[in-house]
Chain A
Amino acid sequence: MTSMLTPRRAPRPPRGRPQLRTSYAQDMGLLNTPAKRRSTALVILAAFTVPFLVTDDLLLIFTLGLIASVGAIGLNLVTGYAGQVSLGHAFFLGLGAYTGAVLGGDPEGSVTGYGLPMWIWLPAAGVVAAIAGLIVGPVAVRLRGLYLAIVTLGLVFLGEHIFREARTLTGGPGVGRRGPDLELFGIDFAEAGSLFGLGLSRDQQQYLLALVFLIVFAILGRNIARSGVGRAFSAVRDRDVAAAVIGVNLTVYKVMAFAMSSFFAGVTGALYYAVVGVFEPGAFGLLLSIQYLAMVLIGGVATISGSIMGALFITSLPRIAQEIAHLFPIISTSTVGGGLINVFQFEAILYGLLIIGFLIFEPRGLFGIWMRIRNYWKGWPFSY
């Protein structure tokens, strides 16, 4: 399509005129303004210095948040960009988690494990989930809107049942199994070690691994979104009949959206639960799907940076709820009785209220808030 008409390498804008566009490729560039270039560099630099500034318990939350971001980007591809509402993300996450655990797990354990290295189990987890997405995709093509939402909800219940029953692979409910070993390029991320001559704790290493993982997949996601595929997704989302009329093959793109999203979910599941350690089938219920949906909605629909913000926010929500609970004595920190509500209930209520609140007051999510702040300062002092 357009890529054939535009030169492979975009010409640089003339000196002193960084905002002047002379080609389409320039406009679609990954970092198409100097401000974006600088701020992205700053954010990445800041992200790399975080592990040396915060304590290890906080760092673990960030690590999980970074990994979950990839899953949120995946859900955003299918739900945000392609407009196919999926409540089935938990199923694909679970599929990835168990593929990773089985392929990379301890061969001597009580459950099946093949002890394969990480460079095999991580992509394999994505591929298995993507194949499941390919199988579900055609069903999605026949269904629209809320029918699809309910069917994917059914997928979660069926998936949970399968995970519960496949005891030799998953350990069964209440027991669970260990995730795969985290060892890549000879670096063991499961214990403290040194990287580039720098003494690092286990959590610091895992954080850096998660950060690199996220950067790779965020760029991949952004590239999908800004390419012809991404534009086709948006066309399908905005009006599928119109998209079909201008030559977008609905079947192909809907299936593709599901497969890509599932791939992201699969690798996320494998890595997330490798960091968590022990996990059990009950983890992949409807609540997990809702959490990922909340990440997308609170972060910002159809934005990559929004997915990351949302995922970081939602994964740190338990901690935030705990901090708030310490401030207000009416929220008890114990699980039984006492106080008006306990901290877990408070956390769940926060989920609900945040979803409702963001959808009503800020439908573009955290990304929308960021846009407002940015535009305020862009136009300052004439910001009205």
Chain B
Amino acid sequence: MNQFAQAILNGFSQGAIYALLALGYVMIYKATHVISFAQPALMVCGGLFSYHLTAQIGLPFWPGLLLAMILGALLGMAVERLALRPMVGKPVFTLAIITIGVDIVLRIAANRYMGANPRIVTFPDGSRQYEFLGLSITHQRVALIAVTAITVVALVMFFRYAKAGLAMRATALNQETALAQGIRVGAIFALAWAIAGGLATIAGTFVAAGSAGMEQNTWIIALKALPAIIIGGLDSLPGAVIGGLAVGIVESLTAVYQPDVAPFLGANFALVAPYALMFLVLLVRPYGLFGTREVERV
């Protein structure tokens, strides 16, 4: 029982990272109807911004994270402006492929910076253990969950009360109508990418603060947020959070139980379990758990 609860808790904190990334995907999808395959690169770059600011320049963790988020947001905006704005109105598939190209280019630049050594962001007092009810969690994981919770609440508030949030919702609903209401749709696209870049930076920073740090193949983590958004539904913010947490928990549970329960699935099945989960969910609900069913008009 304790092992089970501990696995859930670990999965929950890992899921927080997926949730942050998934929120970024959904932000971009809602605003521009494009799935950004550049999100792994934004995550890696964001983590490296944090690393550079804290470890190389010597800023403390939190100001470093804040500054890195601003840099990440600027990077997101730059990607949108340079690679995607010229293509507005083209098929979404084309745009999605362009983001793959952007991802490759950015990740090469990031790899060049990283070299062969993992880059680890030191989180102040990060490995202190908290114990309660026989479960243990590190200080850093608590901070991650807290930051994720604050981010989600801030996003919800933003969409509900801020003028820009309202403008984003209007754009997501119908771009032309939003344009007719005086909303600068281009600026909304930039804002969506900026938010996605910032979210990816938080995720990247906490990935880099983990035990393995940021390595050349860490970017794969960001792709696991894709099953998360599919499970939650491409255009649903709560779906992204729930999907992200679900993916984290399923991954963690599989890692603990699959070697005993279903050894025929092979070693490290946990790494691909999110994709298997995605297939199962889609067989039942083709638009995810919370996604809006597409209505066809002829």
Contact = CB atoms under 8 A, between A and B. Distances in A.
B231 to A, nearest CB: 11
A286 B98 CA distance: 15
Nearest to A149: B96
A337 B283 CA distance: 47
Interface in B193-211: none
Nearest to B297: A241
A151 B286 CA distance: 11
Interface in A336-354: 336-337, 341, 345, 348-349, 351-354
A41 interface: no
Chain A contact patch, size range: 35 or more
B272 A149 contact: no
Contacts of B269: 161
A245 B83 CA distance: 37
Nearest to A290: B100
Contacts of A336: 116
Nearest to A156: B275
A149 B93 contact: yes
Interface string A290-307: 100100010000000000
Contacts of A363: 90, 94
A45 interface: no
A61 interface: no
Nearest to A164: B266
B282 A151 contact: yes
Given A139-B282, A242-B298, A352 B103 contact: yes
B interface SS class: helix
Contacts of A293: 97, 100
A interface SS class: helix
B272 A360 contact: no
A143 B296 CA distance: 13
Contact of A145 (B93, B266, B276, B298): B93
Interface stretch (B51-59, B159-167, B183-191, B222-230): B222-230
A153 interface: yes
B108 A349 contact: yes
Contacts of A144: 294
B155 interface: no
A147 B25 CA distance: 13
Interface centre among A154, A158, A348 (most CB of B within 10 A): A154
B35 interface: yes
Given A143-B286, A345-B111, A352 B87 contact: no
A165 B267 contact: yes
Contacts of A241: 296, 298
A312 interface: no
A165 to B, nearest CB: 3
Contact of B226 (A139, A150, A356): A150
A357 B223 CA distance: 24
A356 B104 CA distance: 10
Given A161-B266, A341-B108, A363-B90, A355 B97 contact: yes
Contacts of A151: 230, 278-279, 282
Contact of B272 (A158, A290, A352): A158
A354 B223 CA distance: 23
Interface string B283-298: 1001100000010101
Given A154-B278, A161-B271, A356-B101, A146 B108 contact: no
B48 interface: no
Nearest to B95: A359
Contacts of A114: none
B102 interface: yes
A245 B296 CA distance: 13
Nearest to B229: A150
B266 A356 contact: no
Given A151-B278, A352-B103, A356-B83, A85 B90 contact: no
B149 interface: no
Contacts of B272: 157-158, 160-161
A378 interface: no
Given A139-B279, A352-B105, A161 B268 contact: yes
A158 B100 contact: no
Interface in B92-131: 92-94, 96-98, 100-105, 108, 111-112, 115-116
Contacts of A149: 35, 93, 96
A359 B87 contact: yes
B22 to A, nearest CB: 12
A356 B86 CA distance: 11
B108 A147 contact: no
Nearest to A287: B104
B234 A146 contact: yes
Contact of B100 (A150, A349, A355): A355
Interface string A35-47: 0000000000000
Given A146-B92, A150-B230, A349-B108, A158 B275 contact: yes
A363 B35 CA distance: 19
Contacts of B227: 150, 154
- Shortest 4 CB-CB distances between A and B: which pairs? A165-B266, A352-B104, A154-B275, A355-B101
Interface of B: 29, 34-35, 83, 86-87, 90, 92-94, 96-98, 100-105, 108, 111-112, 115-116, 223, 226-227, 229-230, 234, 265-269, 271-272, 275-276, 278-279, 282-283, 286-287, 294, 296, 298
Given A146-B35, A154-B227, A352-B102, 12 more contacts: A145-B92, A147-B282, A147-B287, A157-B272, A158-B276, A160-B272, A164-B266, A290-B104, A352-B100, A355-B104, A360-B83, A363-B94
29 contacts: A85-B96, A139-B282, A139-B283, A145-B92, A146-B29, A146-B93, A146-B234, A147-B230, A147-B286, A149-B35, A153-B223, A153-B226, A154-B226, A154-B279, A158-B279, A160-B272, A165-B266, A241-B296, A337-B115, A341-B108, A341-B112, A349-B104, A351-B104, A353-B101, A356-B83, A356-B98, A359-B90, A359-B98, A363-B90
